[in-house]
Structure 1
């Protein structure tokens, strides 16, 4: 699928796979006569189209395009623009209910609703309009057949039926534009004055390119030959679980098993890679499936399920006998204790799978597997009143009993095989107030010890704190950096008023509790933090040295990356809790677009709630209230269905000045599935934010966009604090079931969730991306340049007698600098980490930029935030414990 692969590279890396996008063209005199356009003219036109989308050609891509024939350039440009428009949403016809939005939105929502009800209940065919009394103005519209009066309802403004709010046939006479609209070129709600260069000038736009002031352009680069392989390896090597979109991208990118790296650290990623290759390369099963849980993840992926095992797959496994025996044989080769422990980690899932695997049919060949399932399913060893039982006299029974004799920990109780798992022993130790015994159990499982660090620190007596620090010092070298940063944040963050819990499931049932925990002793917290930070610095020291590092102080507003398995696909990859400044524009526009699957109606609603300083409700803007405080918030109208290919679109305009005037501080946009259909049933769907819109929808002005995925029915993407002028990423899927979901029903839940998120992330001391970058800079360089929030540039120089830990502490805390610098220091830095790529780094530098803009991937090595932690992973060959399941990153 060339287009799919090219689309992935374009979306993820802004790399253009020119070989896949350029059509084969036979150059003949006939073609040249029919297409007299020159390559230069076509290139100018392509650049103009890209600028309107907020993009520019890099030098290498420009040279490639200049070498194409006019016909080849035409085909290349069309395919490239089509991929870009599909990604941004521009290809979709993002037209709301009121095509003249925001000017034509009714000021009184109640009157609009009452008129719709009267027309629906009382209007009869061939009768005067019940609203205006006009004759011969009432006609049935297609396909809903509701009776609509063309005098009462303006067909030049509506894009759907005014009665049921469902999209109409585009050729229905009711939707035809008026003569005035036709003459002015205003079709489907798009104003010609906004799309033409003359209209842009009249609208107050500056610049020859016609872009709104402040819109930032981004560079498109020519993809190298190894782009697909390097991108696949990057995903395979990531130390955090992949999101749904990342897993789908990996399935497209991974073509050749030779691309597999020596180590795939995250087991969910292994399952995705194995599922893509196992059919043609079954030998990979022994290489990539080391544990029973690895096998279970593979089975889930093959059944179109989630490799994180959070939700059961939709369909059941239907495998031939050969495949079942292959799986049973792989399980039989796993050490028995590990096999039983793994089966008990996911008992319900394995019990369902066992119905298809039939482990007792091949018990003589695979006795360990059969015994493990007998323990899991509590199979009776004698005839029972219900269900099957294990006959000790049969060949299968003799094999299982013989295997049980080989394992002293297997006991018989009440006529069944039993096994006491590690988890039960650990929880029993905590329940019996024996934290010392719990610590002894955890010594052999470093990852689990670090995850339980705060629990142990509170449970152990003061005289055992030194023992805990020593145990942590021994364990940290074998633990994933994601687990270490999560533990560091927990150790440093004092208890607050509320605790917030995110279950493993993709949907959050509002789970908050009063935080009644005692704070950790200051000396113990400092000692534990020192061990964790010291380990990260030790690992960074082992990386290649750099002459100079250039860091942006604003990175402190971004939370260090963690698990991404439940994260939405976004334009800017940021971790939940990260903060960015609200654009200085007076008006922001929220947008929602979705397409329902064939045969199923999906009614999504975009709503916005505003609260004051104390989280008291101020007002809302949703389909029940299209305008709030006149123009402070304006909704584009409710669409109740989204048939393809056009789908449905809703907008909300936010006037930030007017909102502050009415006492609003917190602004919370929410997406609801009104009729309870989960987001993963959509053909496509996304929600986002436009800054200072000039057109109805302008991809170049998109500040952020979230894809609607997962089994949730409610999404709280972000929240805005108007007083601090901050936008905080929430990315929370709230639970909602049944019909009639709306902001009115869930305002309290939304407010409590947002308030808790603000408290937890705003007052905590979690690890930031700034701190991760400081670890790299302090450990790998003696010269670090920092761009401060006020625009000044300062430098930190590591003294000859200064150790790495002291230098890192001074840099992280942003203490008094050693000297002042200028911005040109960035051009001579080997490692750069900034918010905005408005600098010109040296060729070959490693650069992290949240907004890369005109940074050329062909000149510098652009890295993402997860890479900054992935590079701090110890070599698993030097630390075999890293391959054990308990050391894998968890949320």
Structure 2
């Protein structure tokens, strides 16, 4: 009987599926099994307090969710309400600073709960009339949104007229409260105006929708999507996958897809199977592990580390022992690999394999696994004439590998893959290099710019030969979407001699380095055929699955969202803005930057929040930090410097920016910087995060400094970094570039003023690197999918206007995509309003802001960056992330072509 397979499990990982559903789908799960037949009167009263607490955080219960919560018992509602508020506070970063408004919810609710809720709703409506109807999700002045009297729940005129026609107009459809004679509360009210002045801003409430299935069933709907990703998962996605694996049903091996493209993801899944124990996991290993590096990744995941094989991870990793059955299966897998490839893979990660060999004990089974033994002999440089294994002197194991020397070190008689490619490029043989690279399409696509540069050097003014272009075109059909999109952005951009180029070395955090590039420029006419081949491949892949839509609704603002890359090193954030994307600032005149951290009990940590200011030519204009608390005419104000953050409350620093005053003072760019003054890495902190809030109008004296509902972005500070640059604000254009970057600080970073030149140069390089013409964007992905999968596309412009494109009779997909990509050749005629446009149709919807009303009876696919009323759409509208859009470009059969 096989021995049970067990391993330590990381108990610090958040396995709360409720947070998972709230963050990814804007949904709250209420299982039908725990509901009473009818609403409980005490729970109905308690819901008023929950309404007030949620609206304080910027959220709104939809009518379906509120009705379900009312059918919970009072104790059940107390538990559900406390849990929901705690999850929202954790997402917003308010869990350290604020307790729920009503601490004894729902027992002993204060009498002013209803008054507080009414006051907050009036504040929202006075600042921003475009709040969503809690019944249908519509919003805007044309919908006639108002707050019902006396309960203050939001209802549009259309819903009220419909309910009245059905004879149900006497009660609120959300809570059932009898309505007053006036129906709607008056907005022009002294209390409401005072609340509006305190609130400021124009943020719409975010609806929370109901999921009636149990949490495991609802959450596992995301499982296949994460496994299908073709790019490494972000830290947040990896944490979500860990939670899903911990709650996965017992038939997990049968739920796995035929392929898991990302090797790190596959290792995490296989390690989870091993932790469950039993012999059923062993055949899965033999079936799915097909390279030596897969084995190494599995050992790391089994030991509780990220299977990224990074040196930084290796320094902290302590490998866990393997049960004998697992060890034998892994040695069997290694023995069955091509011997030459086996040695090459082992030498690629030599130090890691030396440690892994201590677990696998290959010499103990040298006669059963001769190839594995020989590979480790080569790896260790063992002299077989003097090395003794067991009781007898070892002879070179039999096998196809030939040991050519038994001198001081054992060596192999072959040249590695990378060496062969470099030799061909050094000789100027670009076609030979492409043939060598063709066996590894991902490597070929990553090196396309280098190959074209060599060709432009050795054969200036000549196009790439047709035979070489055919090799590239064939390789494109098998390349992963990440390298494909990276090459697309790099080759279509305009390059200049001596330009500064930005590099992101692979690591646990996103460190950026820039240098001047004086190499040969790749002419546009040389790169154009390759760019056109990539565009054709994107179209082919977008339509290869045969899925069709009746309509596509795209947002022109997608052109400012960079297609996600290097997600492995992305920080966990409240809103998953891809690194390098440029977004509009909130409409208010004031931003509040915040930094919170809490140090371990035995370690003092001093973090500092700073803002460096530059003019339009990147000349330094000022600073707001612990050395200069006030800049200019109070255009930037620092809250004061904390030098430690002891538990349990930690410490928080703020910087308020008055955008108009900063511009008037001559500043164009504001660079937000967080650094560790006493050189303690972020990973050593108990908790640390930063972000910004939209203050909107002025806040009154005595109001809290941290406003949960005003939080627009939050970023967790993690990893072995000590300096973080979260974003760069363009004060004149009222936009910010989300950078999520770290910089090296080996010699200490104690003063932004001392490093002002380096900070300005890095910021300038970042803005140039992430310009839309130099990077693939979500607009490129959305256009490819829309052109390949539908004949009618509606684009919402940056000004909010709607324009329509229809594919002409006999028009090719390539031509239709070219018109869309350039936003030219639109069709004339009036476009219907958005709710009527997509209601009842199968649609592909890709938006920056999910602010459109939730359509009824709609199906298809939805991507949105910011949450909004569209989140209340039915489950038939499949939700996607930016990573899912990239994963949809997975390689498919080359025989399937876009029409």
Which TM-score tier does this pair reach, normalised by the shorter chain? Answer: 0.7 to 0.9
Partner of 1:218: 206
How far off is 1:585 after superposition?
1.1
Contact kept, 8 Å, 1:194 with 1:203, in 2: the verdict is no
SS in 2 for 1:638: coil
1-structure distance, mates of 2:405, 2:874: 63
Quick one: which of 617, 620, 633 aligns to 2:620?
617
| Correspondences of 1:424-503 after superposition (within 5 Å) | 424-460=419-455, 461=459, 462=462, 464-496=464-496, 497-503=499-505
Deviations 1:92-139 (A, max 9, x none): 1279xxxxxxxxxxxxxxxxxxxxxxxxxxxxxxxxxxxxxxxxxxxx
Contact kept, 8 Å, 2:689 with 2:717, in 1: the verdict is yes
Deviations 1:803-847 (A, max 9, x none): 000000011100131124243334456111111122234522311
How far off is 1:82 after superposition?
1.8
| Correspondences of 1:643-792 after superposition (within 5 Å) | 643-692=646-695, 694=699, 695-737=704-746, 741-762=750-771, 764-792=773-801
Contact kept, 8 Å, 1:48 with 1:209, in 2: the verdict is no
Deviates more, 1:695-704 or 1:854-863: 854-863
1-structure distance, mates of 2:488, 2:894: 25
Partner of 1:10: 22
Partner of 2:600: 597
Partner of 1:531: 533
Closer/same/farther in 2, CA of residues 53 and 878 from structure 1, 3 Å limit: farther
SS in 2 for 1:832: strand
Closer/same/farther in 2, CA of residues 752 and 194 from structure 1, 3 Å limit: farther
Deviations 1:389-426 (A, max 9, x none): 367x976733x4312xx235977676513142212222
How far off is 1:488 after superposition?
0.9
Partner of 1:239: 230
Count of residue pairs brought into register by the alignment: 766
2:878 is aligned with 1:866: no
How far off is 1:194 after superposition?
15
Partner of 2:110: none
SS in 2 for 1:38: helix
Partner of 1:832: 845
1-structure distance, mates of 2:90, 2:36: 25
Quick one: which of 46, 51, 75 aligns to 1:42?
46
How far off is 1:275 after superposition?
2.2
2-structure distance, mates of 1:762, 1:342: 37
Closer/same/farther in 2, CA of residues 644 and 799 from structure 1, 3 Å limit: same
2-structure distance, mates of 1:203, 1:745: 49
SS in 1 for 2:494: coil
RMSD between aligned residues: 3.2
How far off is 1:877 after superposition?
12
Partner of 1:305: 305
How far off is 1:267 after superposition?
0.7
1-structure distance, mates of 2:542, 2:37: 54
Partner of 1:854: 869
Partner of 2:507: 505
Closer/same/farther in 2, CA of residues 753 and 851 from structure 1, 3 Å limit: same
2-structure distance, mates of 1:4, 1:861: 22
SS in 1 for 2:529: helix
Partner of 2:276: 280
1-structure distance, mates of 2:646, 2:91: 19
| Correspondences of 1:105-504 after superposition (within 5 Å) | 212-223=200-211, 224-225=213-214, 226-254=217-245, 255-256=248-249, 257=252, 258-281=254-277, 282-283=281-282, 284-310=284-310, 311-313=312-314, 314-320=316-322, 322=324, 323-383=326-386, 389=387, 397-398=394-395, 400-403=396-399, 406-407=400-401, 416-418=410-412, 419-460=414-455, 461=459, 462=462, 464-496=464-496, 497-504=499-506
Contact kept, 8 Å, 2:863 with 2:881, in 1: the verdict is yes
Deviations 1:489-508 (A, max 9, x none): 11111224211111112356
2-structure distance, mates of 1:618, 1:211: 32
Contact kept, 8 Å, 2:794 with 2:803, in 1: the verdict is yes
2-structure distance, mates of 1:337, 1:195: 73
How far off is 1:77 after superposition?
1.0
Contact kept, 8 Å, 1:222 with 1:858, in 2: the verdict is no
SS in 1 for 2:771: helix
2-structure distance, mates of 1:628, 1:529: 47
How far off is 1:561 after superposition?
2.1
Deviations 1:31-78 (A, max 9, x none): x9xxx9622212222122111111112343222112222332222112
Partner of 2:95: 91
1-structure distance, mates of 2:197, 2:242: 38
Contact kept, 8 Å, 2:28 with 2:209, in 1: the verdict is yes
Closer/same/farther in 2, CA of residues 493 and 344 from structure 1, 3 Å limit: farther
Partner of 2:4: none
2-structure distance, mates of 1:193, 1:697: 20
1-structure distance, mates of 2:885, 2:327: 41
How far off is 1:3 after superposition?
6.6
TM-score for both structures, normalised by structure 2? 0.80
SS in 2 for 1:550: strand
Deviations 1:537-565 (A, max 9, x none): 11222231111111111111111122300
Closer/same/farther in 2, CA of residues 712 and 741 from structure 1, 3 Å limit: same
Partner of 2:154: none
Contact kept, 8 Å, 2:622 with 2:631, in 1: the verdict is yes
How far off is 1:15 after superposition?
2.3
Contact kept, 8 Å, 1:362 with 1:396, in 2: the verdict is no
1-structure distance, mates of 2:869, 2:826: 30
Contact kept, 8 Å, 1:712 with 1:735, in 2: the verdict is yes
Partner of 1:98: none
2:877 is aligned with 1:845: no
TM-score for both structures, normalised by structure 1? 0.80
2-structure distance, mates of 1:395, 1:216: 78
Contact kept, 8 Å, 2:512 with 2:741, in 1: the verdict is no
Partner of 1:157: none
Closer/same/farther in 2, CA of residues 321 and 18 from structure 1, 3 Å limit: closer
1-structure distance, mates of 2:405, 2:490: 40
2-structure distance, mates of 1:505, 1:195: 49
Which 5+ residue runs of structure 1 have no aligned equivalent? 96-191, 384-388, 880-891
Partner of 1:823: 833
SS in 1 for 2:845: strand
1-structure distance, mates of 2:651, 2:344: 49
Contact kept, 8 Å, 2:548 with 2:789, in 1: the verdict is yes
How far off is 1:287 after superposition?
3.5
Partner of 1:109: none
SS in 2 for 1:402: coil
1-structure distance, mates of 2:194, 2:807: 46
Closer/same/farther in 2, CA of residues 427 and 259 from structure 1, 3 Å limit: same
How far off is 1:593 after superposition?
1.0
Deviates more, 1:348-357 or 1:555-564: 348-357
Contact kept, 8 Å, 1:476 with 1:532, in 2: the verdict is yes
SS in 2 for 1:743: coil
Partner of 2:166: none
